[in-house]
Amino acid sequence: MREDPNDPLISRGSSLMEAEVDGEMVALHVESGACYGFNATAYRIWQLSEEPVRLSDLCAALASQYQVDAVTCERDVRVLLTDLTRDGLVRLSQV
């Protein structure tokens, strides 16, 4: 079966130390020393991607939980994933 290039598999990197603070997440990238703050929605995305997950499955869960339309959800998640990928916190693949 051929994978859909528009539906990547999201996998987390392994070098992030994290803690929850008031429903949000603060994290330290061990290798780079960079600190991150995730708002509640970004933190939820991080939680849902604890195990590798397809973008479509992630967006379906978020759209249901936050009552947002699928197009808006995917657009906003892709923006976050671009930042997380650039910083080495997640990897997008077709496998």
Dihedral sign for Cα atoms in the order 11, 23, 62, 32: negative
Residue range 49-78: mean pLDDT, rounded: 95
Q: What is the pTM of this model?
A: 0.87
Which pLDDT belongs to residue 1? 46
Rounded mean pLDDT, 19-36: 91
Run of H or E residues at 53: strand 53-54
Assess whether pLDDT exceeds 60 at residue 13.
yes
The arithmetic mean of pLDDT across residues 37-62, rounded, is 95
User: What share of the chain in percent tops pLDDT 70?
Assistant: 97
